[in-house]
Every structure is written in structure tokens, then in C-alpha cells.
Structure 1
Amino acid sequence: MMTTAEKALDQAQGPRHALDEPLIEKRTDAYFVRTREIAQHFGDSRVTYAVFIRRPVVAACGLALRWLHNVAEQQGFEVECQEVYPEGTWVGAGEPLFYLTGSLAALAPLETLLLQKLGPVCVAAHNAYQMAMALSQVPFLAMDARHCAGYEMQEQMAYAASVGSRAAQREGATGFVGNANDATAGFFGLDHGLGTMPHALIGYAGSTLRAAEMYAEMYPDQPLSVLVDYFGREVSDALEVCRHFPERAEAGEVSVRLDTHGGRFLEGLDPQTSYAVLERYAPGTIRRYRSEKELRYLVGTGVSAAAIWRMREALNEAGFPKVKIVASSGFSVSKCVAMHDADTPIDMVGTGSFLPDSWSETYATADIVAYDGHPRVKIGREFLLTKLQERQVL
């Protein structure tokens, strides 16, 4: 029986996504189409491609390969794929992810679209893995969809988070437990997306407490996670909500989500008090050298380590030690590392920052390394032949 994630992959890149030949021709680079026409005219060749990325990644090739096999089935040709690295394993810079063998005329027009579905996914999976390992005991929620350029990227990034997360889970991390929309929830073994309220609901309700009341009335059986930064009264509004729902707070069914804007400090904090908070709860964290970026994560504006520690302090002092803290806003790999250094009391991270930051790092490449069984590759890529011969693909 297929797992939920396997079903989601099957649905995501099913036959409806296997583009027909005319549409592929319009979307691919013209020189690949011309290569196909030349090969058809002068005689086809059985070729082997090595597909790789120039930076370290986590292998997340499932969507790309599922698409390729669907196209092959729809267009009536065969392709052999030898995966060098299992899905979810670390891959060094320049290491071939997989080898493809088949007709040059059939495969040449597919290179552009295949690489589009590969590089960004592998880099995002690597980022998700690194984040999950940095905060290994903290569950993550993928909130990337709003930052994606359309549904295809949304699908790719959700898949990447699930693959990177499972890699971290194999090493003992909690990883990503879900995402924020139904369409890609299956990659995380769920039927529905997770999440409670956006800032728009707070504005609609007119107060943080009223928004919490509305949500609790509409969804009484669901845990209550409340955004508390809308009015710049994170601590005050969080405590007001907890005092209104004391039984739920005591049962651990209430969470406060910090999403404080990077242009201001959490309520009651400034640079001096932020340093003091960390000295109380994570002494020594800021005594050694820190870069400007690290200091911002630790004691700066927005959702800093000091801000989270201050919220935990206020909740505990008010008698709400079981109320959870959800942290969001810019939780990248480097921010997660800083939070770990400060032993920050985070109960969940909501993030879209596993998306690749530098798009040039996502460029995947495919080189033909053999023609009709004879090794041949352009100068500078001879290392691909070595790997080819080691794995006896030919």
C-alpha cells in the first residue's frame, strides 16, 4: 500500500502533468529542439546524461523523475534512470544525482523542463534539512506558498521541505510536521493544511482577544494559536487571551504566535533590555564575537531570541507555563542556528525561508557523457566520466 506521501507525489505529477510534445517544444530552449531535428535527420543516438548541481544539496529528484517518466509514457519512448543517490541523502557539489539513458531525439527537448523541476527542489530540501537539524527538537510548519511563483513552484517547495525533513528525522530531528495548504499537505502525510489565523483576522475582529473568541467559537475542537503582534502589544495581548481561556491554557491548547515586524522591538524591549533578557536565560550567548546578522537574530528587532525568551518569561510569571510559543518571520538556516545557540524556548517554527535565497545556486546541469556506449564529454567535465565508470552505467 502506498504511503500518503507517495500518493501525493503520484497525484502531483500524474499523467495530467505529462506535457504533450508541441507544448514542450514551446517551453524548451530552441537549440534542444533543433538538436532533436538534426538527430532525427542524420540518425538517432543512444545517449547517457549525467545530471548534477554545482553546490551541495539533498537529493529531491522525485517530482522531476516522475514528470520525465510520465512524458516518456505519453510520447511512447523508453528511458532508463539510474539514481546515484537515494532520495533524501546528501550530495556533494558536482556529484551526479542520476544518469539518464535513452534516445537523443526524445530526451534533448526535455532538458530545459527537467532541470527546472530539479535544482530549486534539491537546494530547498537541503535548506529544510539544515533548519530541522539546527532546531532538532522543534517542529516546523512550511508556510512558503505565498512566496512561490505559482502553483508549480509551490508544489516543488512543499515536496522539498518534506524530503529534507525526512532526512533530518532519520537523524532524530522532529522536522516539518505539516504545511499551510491542503493541495500539498499529502507530502507531509496529512489531508489538510495547518494554521489558524492571519493578521487580517485580527484587523477584522478589532482586537486580538476578539479574534481568538471568534476562532474558538467557529473551531471549538481545534487548538487555539493566536497572533499577538498586530497592535504591538505582544505580551499584553497574549496574557489577555490566556486569562480569557484559562482552562485551555492550562491544558496546553493555547499557543501565541510571534511575528513581530523587523522594524520594531517586541513590546517592552529595547537594545539594553534585550541584552538583559539573554543574560538572564542564556548567559554567555552574546559575550563572544557575533556578526551583525547574528546579533540581530539574538537581541535585535523583530522575532529575536530575546523576544521569545521575554514572552516565555511573561507567560510563566503569569501562571501559564503550558502555553506554547510559535515563532515565525525570517526563520532561515542561519536564524535557526542562532536560536539554537541561545537555547531559545520555541515550541514550533512557521517558515517559508527554506526557499533558496540565491537563485543562481539552484542551477542544475545535464551533460551527455556517452554516445552509443562510447564515453565522450566536453573538456572540464571529465569528472563525470569517472563517476560513470565507477558505477558501470555503460
Structure 2
Amino acid sequence: MRYSPLITDLYELTMLAGYLDQGMHERPAVFDLFFRHNPFRGGYAVFAGLDTALSYLEGLSFSGEELGYLESLNIFKPTFLSYLSDFRFNGSITAPAEGTVVFGGEPLLTVEGGLAEAQFVETALLNIINFQTLTATKAARIKLAAGDATVLEFGLRRAQGPDGGLSNARAAYIGGVRSTSNVLAGMRYGIPVRGTHAHSWIMAFPDELTAFRCYAKEFPDSCILLIDTYDTLQSGLPNALTVARELKEQGHDLVGVRIDSGDLAYLSRKVRAAFDEAGFPQVKIVASNELDENVIESMRREGSRIDIYGVGTRLATCAGEGGGALGGVYKLVLIDGEPKLKLTSDVAKATLPDRKKVLRAVAPDGSFILDLIALQDEEIHPGTVVFDPANPVQHVRIPENARLIDVRRKVMEDGKRCLSTPDLGSCADLAAEQLQRLPDGCLRLVNPHIYKVSISSGVNTLRLQLMTRIQSKYRS
């Protein structure tokens, strides 16, 4: 799939034109892509979107039609348009594996290359990584809330356009929601597709029982009946039981029933009891209707008997407190070998300069202790003192018994992938495994434990030096 280079903000092009005119376009530069705060006021995020981002970078080029449109804007010189005709991304990318658990303040992607190419890709990379990481995180929260139950993604009709629906299904799979109603996502990404029928199917027939029987006849081995069109307990349930008996006589089994309205926890208990009593314990109960992690957790506390949660709108739109957007940013950290710093009055929002690595301290039992952002060539070992980036006066030591692992690796060199692309199942397995290694409390939906992300002495010292230099130059 080709991603047009015009999926960008205009200012990326005007800066690119300016860099070319000023002879700055080939200056070696390094940018970091990161977010400052964990989404949904949660304790973590699940990194996603890397494969999509690398596909965009590998295919980056301007077509004749796209160049013609830019020429029609009458703001760019012919020399710039000629330059764009041969424009490619030839830089390098360092990133975590998709499915890695990540945290606010940590560099996710580090982009290195000429200033022009590294700057231009900002908007597209933010668009891809922000949305897919946010969605994967939302999906992980929903799946964790659902426990052993299955979660089905079916938010295509509420997603932000067709591409948003595809990205949502892909990222949700990484986060742990391993089936979708989106047929194109099933074809493109190999995600299992699932579905039932709508209320309109029931209403199109003379009565509910006839509708159920016709659907069961069409799909005798994959039949799930929607039982809340008229009255869940007085009509839908007894009619579904009738069809279950008829299917059994024909050598088939009713797979399940779906409830899409009302008190889902209460109704699921009544429906479960009825099917169990009738000798159909295998029939699954599917629930839908504006579900998210908080609703699911609440229903489980009430003793619901739901086997499958169909989650649509609130997953596809990443709705919820602290949701809606990840807030990732893209900042210059090095140019011509000189570290760069964006400074604000809030020390916590000052960027971290220079090339960096992200190390994770792992306990002997495999659990995660803390993450550390250090200079690329800085020597770090267990026992090293590390600092709070928001308040450097506070510091701790990496435990002596910890093992340090590099969270990221180089995934693109000279504009080409340098590692094989893992399948989505491997990414989802990685996310599930890493979530279970977080400290106690990090997975709580409300007021989670805050996982510690520290900076090294080298990063802390360099940042303070640059702050002092900038303040002396620009502030009286």
C-alpha cells in the first residue's frame, strides 16, 4: 500500500524548501518521537504502528500528479519541485519492537538522516505512531479488563474513516483484541473475522422465530443469534432455545447469542441459566453496546456471565478519560553533531538532547524495575545512580541484581529495513508477556502505580549545561 507524501502538514514542505534554499538540507540531524504522558491516565502504553511507518518511509516518493498539485499552489520554486522529484528517505530508524510496553518521556522512534528528509517525515510518523499506539493501549486495557473472555473489535462504522478502521483493527490486535468484524483488515493483516447479524435481519421477517430459523439454516455451524430486538427474556431467549433444539436435532450446535441493549450483566445471568438448564452449556453469550474497559470491569464485578465482548465505538475512537489522542511529539535533538534542547519554563517539558538509548532494568524474576534514558555511548551498569527527569534532585540506584536490556534497536538503515518484520501474532504475544512483567499496580485502570522512567547522569548534566547556555543567551 502506497502512502502519499502529501499526507503531511504544509509547514513540512515550506521548511524543506527553506532548508534547500539555505543549503542546509543535507546537514546530519537526529529527531526523537515520543509522548509525554501515558494515555488514559494509565500506567503504560503499548507501542504499535512501526511496520506501517517503515512501509511509508520505504515507499516515500512524489508522483507527477502530486508535484503538479504542489506547483499549482504557486508558493514553491521550480528548483524545489525538481528536488522533490528525486526525493527519498535514506536515513535510519531506531525503535522498539511492536508490542513493547513503553512509557511517557521515552524516545520511541529516533530518526537520523539529512535535515530535509528527517524533518519532512515528522507529520506522517506522528500520525501513524500516535494513533496505533493509542489504539493498542486501549485494546490492552479492554482485554485485561475482560479477563479470560474473548474480545471482538467491531468499530469500523464508528472509526475515523476507512484507513482509521484498518489501523484500528491492526493495532487492536497487537494490544490483545485478536478478532475483528472488518473484512478488509482480515484479508490484509490475517486477523480472524467474526460477526453475527443486525436487528434489521430480525425485522425483515414476519416474526423473530422465522428470522432465527432462516439464519440458522444459512449458517448452521456458525450461528449466533441477536436476541434483544423485541424482548430479550420474553421473546429472544425462548426463540433462541427453540432454534438451539432444532439445530441439535439436525446435528449442529448453536454457537451463541448476542445481547446489545439493557442491563447486560443481569441479562447475561438469566440467559446463561436458561441455556444451562436446557442442556446447552456450550452456547456462548456475546455482549455489545458502548462497552469499554471500565464498563466491562464493572459488569464482571457484578457477576456477569459474558463469554465474548463486542467492543466498537469506544475502542475505534479511543474514548475515555485521558484518551482521544496520544500527544506524541517530534523534536530535534542533534544537528551537525551539536546537541539541541527545546527549553520551557517547565523543566519536565524540556526535551532530552543528543542520541540516546533506552535501557530497562529487569529483576531476577523477570519483572521490570525501571527504565533509563541514557546517552548513546554512556556506560551504565547495575548500581548506577539515575535521576528523576522532572526533579533531578531525586535519584535512586539501579539495583545491583538487575539485568539491563536495550529496549530499542535499529530497524532501518539507508532507507531500507534491516530486520525482518514479525507477524502480528508475535507482536500481540510480546505485548501480553510484557504487560504481565510490570510492577504491581501498573495495570490498574484507576490511579495506577507510576512506573519509574529515569535519566542518566550524562543526560542530566548535558541538559543542565544546555539550559544554562540558552538562558544566558536569550533571557535577561
**What does residue 59 of structure 2 align with?**
70
Aligned to 2:295, which of 313, 335, 345? 335
> Do structure 1's residue 388 and structure 2's residue 356 form an aligned pair?
yes
Equivalent-residue separation in structure 1 for 2:280 and 2:11 (angstroms): 64
Structure 2 letter corresponding to 1:377: L
Deviations 1:259-282 (A, max 9, x none): 01xxxxxxxxxxxxxxxxxxxxxx
User: Which residue does the alignment assign to 2:4?
Assistant: 19
1:182 CA drift (Å): 1.6
Q: What CA distance in whole angstroms lies between the structure 2 residues aligned with 1:370 and 1:246?
A: 70
* Aligned residues of 2:179 and 2:194 also touching (Cα < 8 A): yes
* Equivalent runs, 1:58-207 vs 2, <5 Å: 58-62=46-50, 63-71=52-60, 75-83=87-95, 85-165=96-176, 176-186=177-187, 189-190=190-191, 193-207=193-207
Distance 1:65 1:345 in 2: 42
Larger Rg computed on CA atoms? 2
> Is residue 28 of structure 1 aligned with residue 8 of structure 2?
yes
1:211 is the counterpart of 2:211: yes
**What is the deviation of 1:155?**
1.1
Alpha-carbon offset, residue 151 of structure 1: 1.0
TM-score scaled by structure 2? 0.62
Distance 1:361 1:181 in 2: 22
Q: Is the 8 A contact 2:93 2:111 kept in 1?
A: yes
Distance 2:87 2:234 in 1: 60
Cα contact 2:32–2:332 (8 A) shared by 1: yes
Shift of 1:123: 1.1
RMSD between aligned residues: 2.6
Equivalent-residue separation in structure 2 for 1:235 and 1:393 (angstroms): 70
Shift of 1:209: 2.0
Q: Distance in 2 between matches of 1:235 and 1:373?
A: 74
Q: In structure 2, what is the Cα distance between the partners aligned to 1:360 and 1:330?
A: 16
User: In 2, are the aligned partners of 1:59 and 1:122 still within 8 Å (CA)?
Assistant: yes
SS at match of 2:289: coil
Calculate the TM-score normalised by the size of structure 1.
Answer: 0.74
Query: Partners in 1 of 2:123 and 2:324 — Cα distance?
Result: 15
Residue 351 of structure 1, CA deviation: 0.8
Counterpart Cα distance in 2 of 1:79 and 1:387: 15
The C-alpha deviation readout for 1:176-195, integer Å capped at 9, x for no partner, is 331112200157634x6321
1:70 shift after superposition:
2.1
Query: Which letter maps to 1:354?
Result: L
**Which amino acid is the alignment partner of residue 161 of structure 1?**
A
Contact residue 288 and residue 309 of structure 2 kept, 8 A: yes
SS state of the match for residue 174, structure 2?
A: helix
Paired residue for 1:50? 32
Matched residue of 1:178: which SS?
coil
Tell me the secondary structure at the aligned position of residue 325 of structure 2: helix
Higher relative helix content = 1
Per-residue deviation at 1:145?
A: 0.3
1-side partners of 2:137 and 2:166: how far apart? 16
- Structure 1 pair 160–235 and aligned structure 2 pair: CA distance change class (3 A): farther
Could you tell me whether the CA contact under 8 Å between 1:36 and 1:108 is conserved in 2? Answer: yes
**Is the deviation greater in 240-249 or in 47-56?**
240-249
Q: Which runs of 5+ in 1 are unaligned?
A: 1-13, 166-175, 261-301
Instruction: Indicate the residue corresponding to 2:336 in structure 1.
Output: 372
The aligned amino acid for 2:49 is C
1:81 deviation in Å? Answer: 0.4
**In 2: Cα distance, 1:28 partner to 1:385 partner:** 25
Contact 1:159–1:187 (CA under 8 A) maintained in structure 2: no
What is the distance in 1 between the residues matched to 2:327 and 2:122?
A: 12
1:60 Cα shift? 0.3
* SS of residue matched to 1:87: coil
Specify the alignment match of 2:307 in structure 1: 347
For the Cα contact (< 8 Å) 1:242–1:254, is it kept in 2?
no
Letter in 2 for 1:334: N
Secondary structure of the residue aligned to 2:30 is strand
Equivalent residue for 1:357, pick from 306, 312, 319: 319
> How many residue pairs are counted as aligned between the two chains?
320
